[in-house]
Amino acid sequence: MLGIIPIPPELLDKRLIFVTGKGGVGKTTVAVALGLRAAEEGRRTIVCEVASQENASRIFDHTEVGFHEVEMAENLWSISIDPDEAMREYVLLQLKVRAMRDMLFRSRIFSYLAAATPGLKELVTIGKIWELAQLDRKVKKGRKYDLVIVDAPATGHGVGFLQTPRTFAAIARVGPIHSQAQRLDSFLTDHEQTGVAIVALPEEMPVNESAALERDLRDEVGVAVDRVYLNGLYPERFTNEETDRLREVAEGENGSVRAAARAAVSEHERARSQRAQLSRLRRRVKAPIKTLPFLFEPELGPEAARRLSRRLA
Ligand SMILES: Nc1ncnc2c1ncn2[C@@H]1O[C@H](COP(=O)(O)OP(=O)(O)OP(=O)(O)O)[C@@H](O)[C@H]1O
Ligand SMILES: [Mg+2]
């Protein structure tokens, strides 16, 4: 077997998927669509939000999800991971001595600890994500999931979130924090178990940033980048001849027809420039690229997410 690189499993066959990308590119939408797809294929799936975003519940019209596993659709659950709650749960699972737990909860020790330890919130969040992905759940009577999908925080500050366990493992050189952080890091960087999907927009800067993000995730963090979703692609509605004709009309006299022709030409040009960005993205990233159409709807709900889910695999 020496020298043969094993083929990693298909994206949805992994246990854990992080959906990442810049702010506002469609991470939540893609995370939910992936969740719907996996659930429709019969996988028991949970979509996790982090840092109190509560976005996925918006798509499903649920007012609030919170730190509970809530069923959204058949085979599909959702949870919003609050770091304070995750920390509480972690301590509860660790400490066997009741009196000590009570003392810890009464004091404001969590807030102090979190304030004094940068990255601790991220660490307990990833710890909870890991816990959800275990078939042998630490939480008593925890539901077993085939797949955990994380609507990851926007990558405004690089790839820090996914690197948290390694950072902690390095700081705490020995002891339980070291070994637990290392276990998290091994899980995240195990290409068989954990995958990453990057969401990008078909514009110049976002394409550049996505290419840089893929490189950092692969080379610095060491995770598997399995897909890049280019989201919000406009349809190409017109041929070149039709566009020439539209341009003539757009130069013409008649007020409302001229306005409509101008709008059509402008949308056509946008669709064309997006195709150019798609070609650039193809040259710059290694992961397979899937395009997702722009849906012309004021607010994307479950139906729209379902439509996108068919384009994802
Ligand atoms: N393919 C699409 N077609 C039309 N609208 C879309 C599409 N994808 C996402 N949107 C819309 O764009 C907005 C941003 O999407 P979304 O909330 O999924 O992005 P995000 O990356 O999670 O943002 P944030 O970084 O703020 O969490 C939402 O209003 C969403 O409904
Ligand atoms: Mg979001």
Distance 49 CA to ligand 2 centre (A): 8
Average pLDDT, rounded, for the chain? 88
State the pTM of this model: 0.90
Residue 47 has a pLDDT of 96
| pLDDT value, residue 1 | 47
pLDDT at 175: 82
pLDDT at residue 85 above 90? Answer: no
The pLDDT value recorded for residue 84 is 83
Q: Report which residue type is found at 92.
A: L
What band does 112 get if pLDDT is binned at 50, 70 and 90?
Answer: confident
265, two tokens? 């030409």
* C-beta of 288 in contact with ligand 1 (< 6 A): no
Q: Is 267 exposed, middle or buried (0-12, 13-18, 19+ CB in 10 A)?
A: middle
Tokens, residue 138: 């630490």
Q: Give 248 or 8, the one with higher predicted confidence.
A: 248
Indicate the SS3 state at residue 297. Answer: coil
For 218, counting Cβ atoms within 10 Å of its Cβ (0-12 exposed, 13-18 middle, 19+ buried), the class is middle
> What value does the mean pLDDT take over residues 219-248?
93
Q: Is the CB of 25 within 6 Å of ligand 1?
A: yes
The confidence score (pLDDT) of residue 2 equals: 53
Residue 61 pLDDT greater than 70, yes or no? no
Residue having the nearest C-alpha atom to atom 9 of ligand 1: 26
Ligand 1 near 28 CB (within 6 A): yes
- The predicted-structure confidence for 151-196, as pLDDT tens digits, reads as follows 998 876 567 899 999 999 998 888 888 899 999 999 999 999 999 9
Q: How many residues would you count in the chain?
A: 313
Average pLDDT of 244-264?
A: 87
Q: What local confidence, expressed as pLDDT, does residue 57 receive?
A: 61
Task: Spell out the residues 6+ positions from residue 126 whose beta carbon is closer than 8 angstroms to its own.
Answer: 161, 162, 164, 165, 184, 188
For a pLDDT cut of 90, what percent of the chain falls above it?
Answer: 58
- Choose one of 22, 52, 54, 300 to mutate for the ligand 1 pocket test, by most ligand atoms within 8 angstroms of C-beta: 300
Which residue's alpha carbon is at the smallest distance from atom 12 of ligand 1? Answer: 26
Q: What is the pLDDT of residues 266-294, one digit of tens each?
A: 999 999 999 999 999 999 999 999 999 99
Q: Are 39 and 305 in contact (CB under 8 A)?
A: no
- For the ranges 92-106, 165-179, 202-216, which has the lowest average pLDDT? 92-106
Which residue has better confidence, 141 or 280? 280
Q: For residue 65, is pLDDT > 80?
A: no
pLDDT band at 5 (very low <50, low <70, confident <90, very high): low
